């Protein structure tokens, strides 16, 4: 077995089958919409069960589209899910790794069979365009298959050790922890929760997942997949609700052996502090970025413009890996910025299910209001050279649509240059040379991604 990335859109383009891709996606949109508006239960101990009350979720593209009613779970509901996962751990962890990966591979195959349905669900639920949504699905499939291959290559992470003496025998055996609490984000509603959950389950742990309350449907569909492939009851538990109830119970419960979290720095810090307060337990937390791109005087400016734009404004900058500041050598800044502004003005903003759309809506009202607040700060302290407008007329009136924005002339230590914004605002700063660019790039509390455009290695 050799792992290969799914790369769905790329393969369709290589095979000149773009029309087929778009037809399959459009058909899936119709299929997904026909199944919206229902009441979607939790998935606990191998059963689909309801709590005592529900909350509603609407599409960020159009508030008239009700995604569905989801369970407003109580702490008692969460404890039932954790209890089921704890009970299942003994059986699941004692299944040979070959048996575990057989089940997870079957899940990956089933998601692959339904990839257009999953992609359309993501577009409608969180506002990603069709190409980014398909990438989200591909990443989920890839994660499962890659983890399965790693287990195989490493013989279940069990191996003989060396000898200090001829008459001794020693081996290294990696053991699962127990029940993992998984808290997922809205921006990759399939890829990240699946990768965190699958990583836990493949290695013999069980999982209790809380998805983002903005995007619960996507992972509900994955719970259906795990049910279909007959994952043992309690191995995976899906439970919706607020952070103050569901999230708080997961973090404070002594039966949770580990936490996997993706989200904001503030929440990640709070989780880590609470979770280890009684005893040492692992916390895997990915908490954002403030990612620079350097454009040198030896760059291909067309490539630099296109790469910077797609990194900054792909999914509206609502990604921890998004470029949020570009550091341009001062002798090419004027030309680069002019090209970037013109290209940014050509971005198609609108319904993410339409094939021509690049930028869909922001995820919710809070993000929309945050964008408006940051724009006022940018106008006050810098110069907005592109965008800076909320879109409210016509087709935009029912969603959270904004223009991608470029801001120039901000001081290096300004909050917009330092804070993770998570909206489509890109800050530009000129630098004299590579040494200064690297110093400015490293002037941040975050360390996640960075890029450079140059033809001189």
CA 205 vs. chain centroid, Å, equals: 22
Count helices and strands in the chain by DSSP H and E runs: 15, 20
pLDDT at res. 451? 96
HSE-CB of 12 using CA atoms within 13 angstroms: 15
Compute the distance between CA of residue 98 and CA of residue 355 in angstroms, rounded to an integer: 41
Contacts of 346 (CB under 8 A, 6+ apart): none
Q: What is the 3-state secondary structure (H, E, C) of 371-429?
A: HHHHHHHHHHHCEEEECCCEECCHHHCCCCEECCEEEECCCCCCHHHHCCCCCCEEEEE
Q: Compute the radius of gyration of the chain from its Cα atoms.
A: 23
pLDDT in tens, 137-180: 999 999 999 999 999 999 999 999 999 999 999 999 999 999 99
Stretch 227-236: mean pLDDT: 98
With bands split at pLDDT 50, 70 and 90, how would you rate the model's confidence at 1? low
Compute the distance between CA of residue 22 and CA of residue 16 in angstroms, rounded to an integer: 12
Residues classed as catalytic: 286, 320
Kindly report the average pLDDT of the chain as a whole number: 97
Is the confidence at residue 2, as pLDDT, over 90?
no
Return the structure tokens found at 379.
Answer: 């106008």
Percentage of residues in the chain with pLDDT exceeding 70? 100
pLDDT at res. 344? 98
pLDDT in tens, 326-335: 999 999 999 9
Helices (H), 253-364: 265-275, 301-313, 333-345
Q: Evaluate whether 104 touches 148 at the Cβ level (below 8 Å).
A: yes
Q: Evaluate whether 295 touches 304 at the Cβ level (below 8 Å).
A: yes
Stretch 196-213: mean pLDDT: 98
Return the structure tokens found at 246.
Answer: 């569901």
Three-state secondary structure call for residue 326: strand
Q: Evaluate whether 158 touches 393 at the Cβ level (below 8 Å).
A: no
Q: What is the pTM of this model?
A: 0.97
Q: Evaluate whether 211 touches 289 at the Cβ level (below 8 Å).
A: no
pLDDT in tens, 138-149: 999 999 999 999
């Amino acid at each position: 077995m050799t792992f290969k990335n799914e790369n769905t859109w790329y393969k369709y383009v290589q095979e000149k089958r773009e029309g087929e891709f778009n037809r399959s996606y459009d058909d899936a949109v119709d299929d997904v919409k026909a199944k919206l508006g229902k009441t979607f239960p939790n998935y606990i101990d191998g059963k689909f069960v309801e709590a005592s009350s529900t909350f509603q979720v609407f599409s960020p593209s159009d508030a008239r589209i009700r995604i569905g009613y989801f369970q407003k779970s109580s702490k008692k509901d969460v404890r039932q899910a954790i209890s089921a996962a704890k009970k299942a751990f003994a059986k699941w962890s004692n299944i040979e790794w070959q048996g575990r990966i057989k089940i997870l591979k079957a899940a990956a195959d089933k998601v692959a069979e339904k990839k257009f349905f999953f992609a359309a669900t993501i577009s409608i639920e969180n506002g990603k365009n069709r190409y980014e949504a398909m990438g989200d699905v591909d990443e989920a499939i890839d994660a499962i298959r890659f983890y399965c291959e790693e287990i195989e290559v490493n013989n279940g992470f069990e191996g003989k050790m060396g000898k200090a003496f001829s008459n001794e025998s020693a081996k290294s055996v990696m053991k699962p922890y127990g029940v993992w609490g998984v808290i997922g984000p809205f921006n990759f509603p399939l890829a990240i929760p699946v990768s965190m959950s699958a990583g836990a389950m493949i290695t013999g742990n069980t999982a209790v997942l809380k998805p983002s309350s903005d995007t619960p449907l996507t992972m509900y569909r994955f719970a259906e997949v795990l049910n279909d492939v007959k994952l043992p009851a309690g191995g995976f538990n899906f439970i919706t609700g607020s952070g103050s109830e569901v999230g708080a119970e997961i973090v404070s419960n002594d039966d949770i052996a580990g936490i996997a979290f993706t989200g904001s720095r503030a929440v990640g810090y709070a989780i880590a502090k609470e979770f280890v307060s009684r005893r040492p337990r692992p916390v895997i937390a990915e908490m954002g970025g403030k990612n620079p791109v350097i454009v040198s005087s030896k760059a291909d400016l067309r490539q630099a413009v296109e790469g910077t734009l797609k990194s900054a404004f792909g999914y509206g900058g609502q990604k921890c890996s998004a470029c949020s500041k570009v550091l341009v050598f001062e002798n090419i800044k004027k030309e680069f910025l002019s090209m970037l502004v013109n290209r940014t003005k050509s971005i198609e903003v609108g319904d993410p299910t339409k094939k021509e759309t690049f930028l869909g809506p922001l995820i919710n009202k809070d993000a929309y209001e945050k964008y408006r607040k940051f724009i006022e700060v940018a106008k006050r302290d810098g110069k907005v050279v592109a965008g800076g407008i909320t879109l409210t007329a016509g087709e935009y009136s029912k969603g959270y649509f904004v223009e991608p924005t470029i801001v120039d002339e901000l001081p290096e230590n300004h909050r917009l240059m330092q804070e993770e914004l998570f909206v489509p605002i890109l800050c530009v700063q000129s630098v004299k040379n590579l040494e200064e660019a690297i110093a400015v790039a490293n002037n941040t509390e975050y360390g996640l991604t960075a890029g450079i455009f140059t033809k001189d290695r």
